[in-house]
Every structure is written in C-alpha cells, then in structure tokens.
Amino acid sequence: MSNRPLRILYDHQMFALQRFGGISRIFVELARRLSADPACDVYWHRGYHIDGYDVSDFRPRLARYFSLDRPPPGLGRWPRDRINRHTLRWFSRTIWGGVDVYHPSYFDAHLEPIPKRKRLAVTVYDMILERFPPGQARFQPTIEGKRHLVEKADVVFVISEHTRADVVELLGVDPARTVLTYPASDMAIIEAAPLPAGIADRPFRLYVGPRTKYKNFELLQQAFARSDWLKREFRVVCLGGGAGFLGPAWETRRCARAWSSAATPEPASSPGSRWPTRRWPATARR
C-alpha cells in the first residue's frame, strides 16, 4: 500500500461556462477543503475560464494549478473549449504517474480519456434534460456525455434521493455505484438581516437562478398574469440570474408590481475577488 496522498484531479468545464453558480461553487469548495487535508493532493486545471472566484486563500495548497484569463499568444481565434482540451492534455501529462481520481465538473465526454487515472468519479445533479427533453439539439451533447461518463464512472455521486432514483431508472445504473452526497452550505455563519422593503408585508415565492425555459420561468409569469389571487396574495422574489425580466413582453402580463429582483452581490473579476460567503449561502460538499 502506498502512503502517498490521494491524488484528485478537477477540471475546467463549469468554470468555462458560468461566472458563479451552484456547480462551480461545489468544485471550488471541494478544492478548498480537500487541499487542506494532508491525505489529499488536489490538482486543478481551471483552464481558460470565465468564473470570478478568488482562490488565493487555498491556491498555495494545491499540488498543481493551471489558469488562464485570456487565450495563449497566437491562439486568440481558437474556441475556448479547444484551448481547454489541449491545455488539459498538457496539464495531465505533467502529473507523473497520473492521478488516483479524476472528477470532471461537467459532462464533456471528449475529455474523459485524456487524464491518466485509476478511478473516475462523476456527480449527477439532476436528470431534468432526460426526464423533460427540451427538443433542442444543443442539449444533446450534454445528455449523451452524461450517459457516457456515468457508464464509465467507478462512483456516481448524486445530490438527492430523487436524483438517484432517476439515474437508476433512466440510465440503468446499479444503485450500489451511487453515493448520496447532499450539497451543504455556510448559512450558519451568515448574519440574519431584515427582508427588503416591500417584501415582508405578504408571503413570497423565491425564484433562484436564470430566468430561462430550463427553469420554466415563463410559465411562472403566465400563472401570475392570469391569476388575480396570486398577484394579490403573493410576491415573487427573483434571486440571481440578472435583472432582465422587465420589458414590453413583461409589461403586457400586467403583474410587474408583484415581482422583485434581489441581485446577489457580485465581486470583481478574478483573481482579486472573492465571493462574499458571509453574506450569501455557499453550496459546498462536506
């Protein structure tokens, strides 16, 4: 048996897709917390990314780290995913002997064979695309990539019992290969504060995230537009995802007074920024 630390590789995928978000935050916290454990060596290919996380507090603890905030010289016309595919291949080759566990942050099947590893771990967050197919070709690579990675994985982390049931039913996964790992939070250290003015006077429904078809935001709008009772009895508070839900199409629904947007405080660009964990919940895995 080797006495060396467990080598874990995290990749760039979600950090090239979202500035801040639940999935990318999970992987930041995994890297932060596991790099503090002497039994683990964390290798992070952050790659050519768009996220704004400040990782300066734990970056020195990483066994190896690679990050770009602009294309390499001469490669300005290369797509981001092509740059990251090549740099991941280079990064993986610098790890002598490979890693014990490769844990990709999303479902690009083309990246799976690149790192030399002993085990593959995959996290499945939900099966919405499979359960409710959007009928758009752009989602097919994600659907097919998820299936490929789950089939290859030695362990499949799921974030809820419902997700586990869907993975077993829709992908035919042996339940013994799944591990239920709930997302955690730092809410215990957040100071309580009064609700914003105009919200505390009646019950409200909290909508979190981008206002897209993925989360059926338009159906929620339509329901409020058609129901005087909903508009009278409830407010809707939209947290995160920008404030761009007002406009001509929205005004025709005649319910803007029942809606509010509570934008999360967004820090400046990396590397000098840090998500304000003491003000807002932080999704992390313990």
pLDDT digits (tens, 9 = 90+) for 1-32: 568 999 999 999 999 998 888 899 999 999 99
Q: What is the pLDDT of residues 131-152, one digit of tens each?
A: 988 777 888 999 999 999 999 9
The label of the residue with tokens 């993986």 reads: 92
Q: Residue 285 carries which side chain, given as an amino acid letter?
A: R
Residue 234 above 90 pLDDT?
Answer: no
Question: CA 147 to CA 107: how far, in whole Å?
Answer: 9
CA atoms within 13 A on the CB side of 202: 13
Question: CA 225 to CA 234: how far, in whole Å?
Answer: 12
pTM reported for the whole predicted model: 0.79
Helix (H, G, I), strand (E, B) or coil at 119: strand
Q: What pLDDT does 221 receive?
A: 84
Q: Are strands 64-68 and 99-103 parallel, antiparallel or unpaired?
A: unpaired
Question: CA 226 to CA 211: how far, in whole Å?
Answer: 19
Give the pLDDT band of residue 270 (cuts 50, 70, 90): very low
Q: Do residues 19 and 52 make contact, with C-beta atoms less than 8 angstroms apart?
A: yes
Question: CA 101 to CA 117: how far, in whole Å?
Answer: 6
- Residue range(s) of every CATH 3.40.50.2000 domain in the chain: 6-180
Q: Are strands 235-239 and 99-103 parallel, antiparallel or unpaired?
A: unpaired
Q: What pLDDT does 274 receive?
A: 31
Contacts of 75 (CB under 8 A, 6+ apart): 83
Residue range 6-180 in CATH 3.40.50.2000? yes
- Helices marked H in 137-254 — which ranges? 140-152, 161-171, 217-226, 228-233, 248-251
- How far out from the chain centre does Cα 83 lie? 21
Order across the sheet with 6-10: list the strands. 64-68, 40-48, 6-10, 99-103, 117-124, 155-158, 178-180
Q: What pLDDT does 32 receive?
A: 95
Residue 41 above 70 pLDDT?
Answer: yes
Residue 125 above 80 pLDDT?
Answer: yes
